[in-house]
Amino acid sequence: MKRAVTSAIVVALVVGASALAGSTQSTADPGVTPKSILLGGTVPLSGVASAYSAVAVGANAYFKYVNAKGGVNGRQINYKYLDDTYNPAQTIQLTRQLVEQDKVFAVFNTLGTETNLAIRPYLNQLKVPQLFAASGDTSFGADVATYPYTIGFFPSYQAEGWALGQYLKKSKPKARIAVIAQNDSYGRDLLVGLKRGLGGGSAKVVAAQNYEVTASDVGSQIAKLKSSGADTLAIFATPQFAIQSYVFANKLGWKPFVVTNAVSSASNIMLLASEGGQNKTVVGSVSVVFLKDPTDPKWSKDPAIILYRTIMAKYAKGANAKDVYHVYGMAVAYATVNLFKRLGKNPTRAGLIAAVDSMNIKDDPFLLPGIAIKTGPGDHFPLSQMYFQQYAKTGWKQFGSLVTYKG
Partner 1 sequence: MANFFQQVVSGLASGGIYGALALALVLIHRATGVINFAQGEMATFSTYTLWTLTQNHGWSYWPALGATLAISFAGGFGVHQFVIRPVERGSVLRVVIVTIGLLLLLNGAMTWIWSGEVRSVHSPFPTRTIDIAGVAISIQDLGTIGVSIGVVILLGLFFRFTKIGLALRASATNPAEARLVGVRVPLMLGVGWGLATMLGAIAGALTAPTVFLDPNMMQAVLIYAFAAAVLGGIDSPVGAVVGGLLLGVGLNLLGTYVNFVGADLRLPAALTVILAVLLFRPAGLFGKRVVRRV
Partner 2 sequence: MRRNAVPVALFAALVAVVAVLPAFLTDFRAQQFAYVGIYLIALIGLNVLTGYTGQMSLGHGAFMAVGGYTTAILMTDHGVRDLWTIPIAAVVAGIAGFLFGIPALRLTGLYLALATFAIAVSTPAVLKKFEGFTGGGSGKNLFGLKELTGGIGGVHILGWKLNFNNWLYYLCWTVALVSYVVAWLLLRGQTGRAFRAVRDSETAALSSGVSLARYKTLAFGVSAAYAGVAGSLFAIATTYVNPDTFPVQLSIFLLVGVVVGGLGSLTGLIAGAVFIEFLPLWAQDVSKSPGAPGVIYGVILIAVVFLLPTGAAGLLRRVATLVRGRVGSAP
96 binds partner 2 (CB under 8 A): yes
Neighbours of 188 (CB within 10 A): 18
CA-nearest of 249, 227, 228 to 237 is 249
> Closer CB to partner 2, residue 88 or residue 161?
88
Buried/exposed code over 96-107 (b: 16+ C-beta within 10 A; e: otherwise): eebbeeeebbbb
Please, are residues 88 and 109 in contact by the beta-carbon 8 Å criterion?
A: no
Q: Output the smallest distance, CB 109 to partner 1, in A.
A: 17
Q: Output the smallest distance, CB 105 to partner 2, in A.
A: 17
Mask of contacts with partner 2, 44-63, x by CB under 8 A? -xx---x--x----------
> Closer CB to partner 1, residue 23 or residue 214?
214
Q: Which backbone phi and psi does 291 adopt, to 5 degrees?
A: -105, 155
Please, are residues 48 and 84 in contact by the beta-carbon 8 Å criterion?
A: no
Which option in partner 2, partner 1, none does residue 68 bind, with CB closer than 5 to 8 A by kind?
Answer: none
Which residues on neighbouring strands pair with residue 361, listed in sequence order? 373
> Closer CB to partner 1, residue 45 or residue 372?
45
CA-nearest of 35, 60, 87 to 345 is 35
Give me the DSSP letters along 45-76. Answer: SSSTTGGGGHHHHHHHHHHHHHHHTT-BTTBE
Interface residues toward partner 1, by CB under 8 A:
46-53, 183, 209-212, 214-217, 219-221, 223-224, 226-227, 239-240, 243-244, 247-248, 250-254, 268-269, 272, 275-276, 278-279, 319-320, 323
287 binds partner 2 (CB under 8 A): no
Stretch that binds partner 2, among 88-96, 247-255, 357-365, 379-387 (CB under 8 A): 88-96
Q: Output the smallest distance, CB 79 to partner 1, in A.
A: 20
Q: Output the smallest distance, CB 220 to partner 2, in A.
A: 16
20, 24, 28, 200: which one contacts partner 2 (CB under 8 A)?
20
36, 67, 76, 92: which one contacts partner 2 (CB under 8 A)?
92
Contacts to partner 2 from residues 131-190, by CB under 8 A: 183-185
Give me the DSSP letters along 256-289. Answer: -EEEE-GGG--HHHHHHHTTTTT-TTSTT-EEEE
> Closer CB to partner 2, residue 82 or residue 222?
82
Which option in partner 1, partner 2, none does residue 210 bind, with CB closer than 5 to 8 A by kind?
Answer: partner 1
Please, are residues 176 and 232 in contact by the beta-carbon 8 Å criterion?
A: yes
Q: Is 132 left (phi over 0), alpha (psi -120 to 50) or beta?
A: left
CA-nearest of 302, 287, 281 to 393 is 281
β-pair type (257-260, 373-374): unpaired
Which option in partner 2, partner 1, none does residue 85 bind, with CB closer than 5 to 8 A by kind?
Answer: partner 2
Binding residues for partner 2, per CB under 8 A?
1, 4-5, 8-9, 11-13, 15-17, 19-21, 23, 45-46, 50, 53, 81-83, 85-89, 92-93, 96-97, 100-101, 114, 117-118, 121-122, 125-126, 183-185, 212, 214, 318
